[in-house]
Amino acid sequence: MSVNEPHQVRRYATTPDLIAANLREEILRGVLPPGQALRQEELAGRFGVSRLPVRDALLRLEAEGLVDVFPNRGAFVTTLSADEVREIYHLRILLEGDAIEAAVPRMTSADWRRIEAAHASSTRSAGGPDWVPGDREFHLALYAPAGQPRQLGMIEMLRGTVDRYWTAYAELPTRTAEWLADHDAIIDACRADDAAAARVRLVDHLRRASALVVAHLPAE
């Protein structure tokens, strides 16, 4: 591809879904930080499209809680207040705690193969650029046996809203050992078929994550 061609998305593959996928990944990885302006004209030029699919992509990201679109002001990567972060983690605790408690008694040998693979992958990527997606894969593998796809979708949306703050503040590398110990403790409870203990250890993990994100938010 010539250096003058549009970035990443080819002209024949320009859809709102593809543009949203590119922007979503950059938001979750912290390439586009909280508060970053997303100008339709610049994005249209970058992806080699008209403003219409860009607008549709931004509206999809707004529905996911990743972008705020303001009439006459434009679109910006969502910035969360401390109260909003606490509310999101409160919802995560309710949904993820319920999911893991429902999942533990349903875990099959096939489920365990997926969980162990995700656990190994998240451990290898700990402290690196793929730590956040690896952590997400691990958690979702734990919840999947519950067989609650709508609930899992809600969990993924809430995670996406706050996970980007880990990358933005580069805090995870300093907490690698603590986070991996949490993962090991959750796995141990699941292996023991102790759903209640798995929930307790997960909830403690999420509460400390919430406090850490709030502590690193910019002053309001």
Q: What is the pLDDT of residues 50-100, one digit of tens each?
A: 999 999 999 999 988 889 999 889 999 988 899 999 999 999 999 999 999
Residue 4 pLDDT more than 50?
Answer: no
| Chain segment 15-63, per-residue pLDDT in tens | 899 999 999 888 877 788 888 999 999 999 999 999 999 999 999 999 8
Bridge partners (DSSP) listed for residue 77? 67
Residue 65 pLDDT: 84
Amino acid making up residue 192: A
C-beta of residue 67 within 8 angstroms of C-beta of residue 61: yes
Structurally, what CATH architecture does the domain formed by 11-77 represent?
A: Orthogonal Bundle (1.10)
What is the Cα–Cα distance from 215 to 73, expressed in whole angstroms? 29
pTM for the full model?
A: 0.80
Residues 6 or more apart whose CB falls under 8 angstroms from that of 216 comprise 165, 169, 171
Domain borders along the chain are: 11-77, 82-215
Q: Count H helices, E strands: the chain?
A: 9, 3
The rounded distance, in Å, linking the Cα atoms of 74 and 58 is 10
- Please report the pLDDT score of residue 33 as a whole number: 84
* Cβ atoms of 125 and 185 closer than 8 Å: no
**Predicted confidence band of residue 2 (pLDDT cuts 50, 70, 90):** very low
Q: ∠ at Cα 195 (190, 200), nearest 5°?
A: 95
Pick the CATH number of 82-215 from 3.40.50.150, 1.10.287.1080, 3.20.140.10, 1.20.120.530: 1.20.120.530
Contact 53, 136 (CB under 8 A): no
CB 151, CB 99: distance < 8 Å: yes
Taking 90 as the threshold, does the pLDDT of residue 6 lie above it?
no
Concatenating the DSSP letter of every residue in 138-188 gives HHHHHHGGG--HHHHHHHHHHHHHHHHHHHHHT-GGGGHHHHHHHHHHHHH
Q: Write the pLDDT tens digit of every residue in 167-206.
A: 655 555 677 888 899 999 999 999 999 999 999 999 999 9
Query: Per-residue pLDDT for 130 more than 90?
Result: no
Which pLDDT does position 49 carry in this prediction? 92
Enter the DSSP assignment of 5: S
